[in-house]
Chains A and B, each alone.
Chain A
Amino acid sequence: MTSELFRFQGGVKPDSHKKESSEVPIQRVPLPSRLVVLLVQSSQGSARTIVTVGDKVLKGQCIGEAEGVAGTAIHAPTSGTVAEIGRYPMAHPSGLASQAIVIEPDGEERWITSEPLDPATASHEELILRIQASGIVGMGGAAFPSHLKARSEIETLIINGAECEPWITCDDRLMRERAASVVTGAAILAQLTGARRVLVGIEDNKPEAIAAMRDAVRGMEPAALACLGAEPDMMSVVAVPTLYPTGGEKQLIRVLTGIEVPPGTLVTSLGVQCFNVATAHAVCRALLHGESVVSRIVTVTGNVERPGNFEVPLGMPIADLLAFCGLNPGTSRVMMGGPMMGFTLPSLDAPITKGCNCLIAASDELFPPQPPEQPCVRCAQCTTACPVGLQPFELYWASRAKNLDDAKRHHLFTCMECGCCAYVCPSHIPLVDYFRFAKSEIRARDEEQKAAAQARSRFEFRSARLEREKAEKAARLAAKAAETRAKAAADGNAALIAAAVERSKDEADA
């Protein structure tokens, strides 16, 4: 089935650098001496610890329950002992620490007894709860809880295998080697969301992945076929042109369906939902095999001895993984994610989490330092490159001048920080940094205003209360005074009467 493709505006074509890591099969890594499983593994919620130090755990055993509606569970990545529960740095630009469960592996890799769930017989709610309890989040990098997205009712399900960022190849390898599971996971998600069509979008620079996925769709497993209501034609694998950022949710939706998602609109309201291929794979493993998310495929590339893709247990310290891959001398920094949207890790002590798709060891040869920033001459190449129709240089002028209202008026918050503008800027201006700065300034200002408004309303309430209490007190005093007066008046009258009585008595006696 061929479907018409659409174009999104803008976009750039950076050197792909895929071959460095895409030609070797996915490898296992040796277990490190400690696995640091962060309680925060998703963008929306966290888990609540249900083990204590000293507990023996099996691989896949739940060690943290989903907290609240948005939370997702976490599981022991291997069998061993809970050695510590404490704070460890997160893989985040801030380098902040977060609560984590540390497990010392026993090296036996003993799985907990698995309990598969058959999508054909289980209820909708059971399946959704299983996705949450298996700890599945968006594995493309955003780590949004998947059970929240799986609840939507949609027409078109999009499976994102675009992998448009340079250097990253973990989805490519996954599709080449485990296409059947990806297809089955996609079919399960289609059943859950009631989608009538499933489009798997893959950039055309991955012909092997496209071929493998097409084969898998043709030879679909019976379980997947059942999920699609015995209509295999519902699912098709679409090769999309290689153009960064095709893998952005709104961009891929545009390319595959022609729908332009307005800013601030939930895609589900337009009958579409997007899942990453690795998320679909995790759904398949969780439901059909009873395996929770205990590992993920991470691309390690750049200035390393053995670049490639690795099945990494969650919680493996990044330093250990890099040591296994052989970090070459001359590495100036390590990036997480791709070079366009990723960030430089402040510390290599942070552990691998579910959203970590790629580590790039950067050297000055591979990533030459940016030339010095030059003045903006409004050449508008950034406008041409922007995939969401913004004028980045106007945003830049506004952000630089801290003219926050102007930045908002130029749709600052529509910016998804894809980095196309900074990539094309002939003046080498780090535009995205300016936008992040302006966004944080606006958020801080809004917080401040909210706090001020709250303080004012509290003060006004207190003033009103004091005023009311004063009035009540005055009224009470007045009432009491009146009473006293009345009483005194009454007493006075009685005395007069008594005196008069006395007087009349005296007169009578006389």
Chain B
Amino acid sequence: MMLTVLAALLPGIAAHVWQIGAGVLVHLAIATATALAAEAAVLHFRKRPVMIALSDGSAIVTAWLVALILPSIAPWWLTVTAVLVAIVGAKHLYGGIGQNPFNPAMAAYCAMIVAWPSFMSQWPSPNGIDFAAQLNLIFGGSREIDGITGATALDAMRTGLRNQNDIRSILAADTFGFAGGRGWEWIAVGYLAGGAFLLARRVITWHLPLGFVAGLGLTAGVFWLIAPDSFPSPLFHLASGGAMLATFFIITDPVTAAASPLGRFIFAAGAGAITWVIRTFGMYPDGIAFAVLLMNICVPLINHATQPRPVGQRKDSQP
């Protein structure tokens, strides 16, 4: 199952390499090695069978997700630290796989953005720098980054709107492509393709992805319809930042989502709506991580409220 998830990430990763550069592959490798080492070490200290847990691939999935949500020119130790936070902190300290209340990748992202906000906001421009320069940045070269990084689409949109520019003129900038950030939108298409594959293979059900798209898209859509000059369109929101990665690979983590089909939809829709709020009124590069963690907290409440009834049992009858 986890191997299928890894396979489904490949189109997005390929698009990333094509549009941004091969630096992301370095991060994926670092993250994978760190995750396997950390997982093995913790399992060893917890006196659990190591090989069975390593071979299920879940640690690698976490590692890849962490690598993909960090900027691909971030220094190598940022990825290592983030993976350690995800595997050791967010997963094993809570009892290991299946027991963690918080999405490990999102917890790692939040920890990093609080600890090193500058590194976390330096995103490379599409085709801005070659692979050698990316390697140099990753492995401790000077971080003279002016002209290498560019504002992300979400940043450019937020800054433009705060400066009272109208959306049409903001979108005219070079940062934007046909739907979201120029170049980045192709990565989103890659994740969309991988997500469709997961749905077709029934690794995930539609409740979580559709819930997230509905939560983010409908919230954005309502404000966009009311004031199209002040709020970007739902399409922009869904194509920008980590929205597609989150839709099919983050929000779909079954361990930290709500239990019932209805509960899962509500959980994901809530995360989508909160994402819009943080993107619109917050100051972080993206709001998904905080939105997911906030909804993780609500899971017991959602589970309590949406427990399905057994077949044939009427609404009013008590068990």
Contact = CB atoms under 8 A, between A and B. Distances in A.
Contacts of B310: 262-263, 388-390, 411, 414
A375 B259 contact: no
B89 interface: no
A405 to B, nearest CB: 11
Contact of A409 (B205, B264, B309, B319): B319
A389 B311 contact: yes
11 contacts: A250-B311, A372-B52, A378-B259, A379-B1, A379-B254, A383-B259, A393-B259, A409-B319, A410-B307, A411-B310, A414-B313
A388 B313 CA distance: 10
Interface string B273-309: 0000000000000000000000000000001000111
B97 A377 contact: yes
Contacts of A389: 308-311, 313
Contacts of A263: 310-313, 319
A429 to B, nearest CB: 10
A-B pairs with the 3 shortest C-beta distances?
Answer: A260-B312, A375-B98, A262-B312
B19 interface: no
A391 B254 CA distance: 14
B317 A383 contact: no
B260 interface: yes
Q: How large is the interface on A (under 10, 10 to 19, 20 to 34, 35 or more residues)?
A: 20 to 34
B56 interface: yes
Contacts of B261: 380, 383
Nearest to B99: A375
B98 A378 contact: yes
B312 A378 contact: no
Given A260-B312, A390-B310, A378 B1 contact: no
Contacts of A379: 1, 254
Contacts of A265: 312
A411 B205 CA distance: 24
Contacts of A262: 310, 312-314, 317
Nearest to B203: A379
A387 interface: yes
Interface string A376-409: 1111100110011111011000000000000011
A378 B101 CA distance: 12
B255 interface: yes
B311 A377 contact: no
B98 A376 contact: yes
Interface string B40-66: 000000000100100010100000000
A391 B97 contact: no
Nearest to A372: B52
Contact of B96 (A375, A380, A408, A426): A375
A261 interface: yes
B311 A394 contact: no
Interface string B190-226: 0000000000000001000000000000000000000
Interface in B233-255: 254-255
A9 B319 CA distance: 20
A378 B311 contact: no
Nearest to A384: B205
Given A374-B52, A380-B259, A388 B311 contact: yes
A377 B95 CA distance: 12
A411 B257 contact: no
A225 to B, nearest CB: 35
Contacts, number: 80
Given A388-B311, A410-B307, A426 B1 contact: yes
Contacts of B317: 262
Given A375-B96, A375-B99, A394 B313 contact: no
A144 interface: no
A100 to B, nearest CB: 39
Interface on chain A toward B: helix, strand, loop, or mixed SS?
Answer: loop
B313 A391 contact: no
A378 B259 CA distance: 7
A435 interface: no
A8 interface: yes
Interface in A256-293: 260-263, 265
A438 to B, nearest CB: 14
B56 to A, nearest CB: 7
A391 B304 CA distance: 13
Contacts of B314: 262
A409 B309 CA distance: 11
A400 to B, nearest CB: 11
A296 B120 CA distance: 74
A309 to B, nearest CB: 33
Contacts of A414: 310, 313, 319
A446 to B, nearest CB: 15
Contact of A261 (B254, B264, B312): B312
A257 to B, nearest CB: 12
B260 A378 contact: no
Given A9-B311, A263-B312, A377 B319 contact: no
Contacts of B309: 389
Contacts of A383: 259-261, 308
Interface string A423-456: 0001000000000000000000000000000000
B56 A391 contact: no
Contacts of B56: 374
Contacts of A384: 205
A388 B311 CA distance: 5
Given A265-B312, A378-B257, A414-B310, 4 more contacts: A8-B311, A375-B99, A383-B259, A390-B310
A255 to B, nearest CB: 13
A249 to B, nearest CB: 12
Contacts of A8: 311
A378 B312 CA distance: 24
Interface in B85-123: 96-99
Nearest to A394: B259
Contacts of B99: 375
Contacts of A388: 310-311
Contact of A391 (B255, B308, B311): B308
Contact of A375 (B97, B264, B313): B97
A182 B261 CA distance: 43
A93 B307 CA distance: 33
Nearest to B257: A378
A384 B261 CA distance: 9
B260 A391 contact: yes
Contacts of A409: 307, 319
A389 B314 CA distance: 13
A60 B302 CA distance: 61
Contacts of B257: 378
